[in-house]
Amino acid sequence: MAMNETDQGYLLPCGRDVEAVWDRLDEIDAHELECPHCLGARESLRALRAVTEEMARDTSEPSRALFGRIMSAVRAEVRRGDMLPLAAGDLGPLSVSERAIAAVLRFAVDGVAGVRARHCQVTAKVDVVNVELRIAVSVDFYVPDVVELVRERVTTAATARVGMRVNRLDVTVEDLYDL
């Protein structure tokens, strides 16, 4: 039996499951019209669907050099990084990889309307994490407001999902995008 087995996907801060938003991507209900969490998730999922459909239509063969560069990036990204200690609980001492923490924080950022996480690097000691985050922001959103919301989401996710307090959070807006 796997530890931490779950029968549901990732819940947005409003309580909606991301899978439910995905399943109803084109059927918006009243909650999803008003909820900033669902709106952000819906925007990201629509962008994912559009890119996926575009890639499916593309029949050209990528160059071998491109394939090599992609695989190098993938190999670098999938390294788990250092194992970081978590506070000892009922099960005794636990540790989690830097990449796992970064993935949780990136997912929290992707739930913010008009924002896409580009890179997230974490370093930590017991119960404290330092975060370096690079994001892209939609031109339809006011950057200072979005960055403030990103800071709130990352801080909340670190505490609620990982059990660590954010000591330092550096957010860099490295790109603007338009859909």
pLDDT in tens, 30-87: 898 888 888 888 888 888 888 888 878 877 777 777 777 677 656 655 555 677 777 6
| Cα radius of gyration rounded to whole Å, the chain | 18
The separation between CA 85 and the C-alpha centre of its own chain, rounded to angstroms, equals 22
Reading the block at residue 147, the tokens are: 């960055």
Per-residue pLDDT tens over the stretch 105-159: 999 998 899 999 999 999 877 778 899 999 999 999 999 999 999 999 999 999 9
The string over 3-20, giving b where at least 16 C-beta atoms fall within 10 Å of a residue's C-beta and e elsewhere, is: eeeeeeeeebbeebebeb
Beta-bridge partners for 171: 133
User: Number of helices (H) and strands (E), helices first, in the chain?
Assistant: 6, 5
**Quick one: pLDDT at residue 88?**
62
The 165-177 sheet, strands edge to edge: 115-125, 128-138, 165-177
**Quick one: pLDDT at residue 145?**
95
**Quick one: pLDDT at residue 172?**
96
CA nearest to 41, candidates 53, 24, 56, 54 = 24
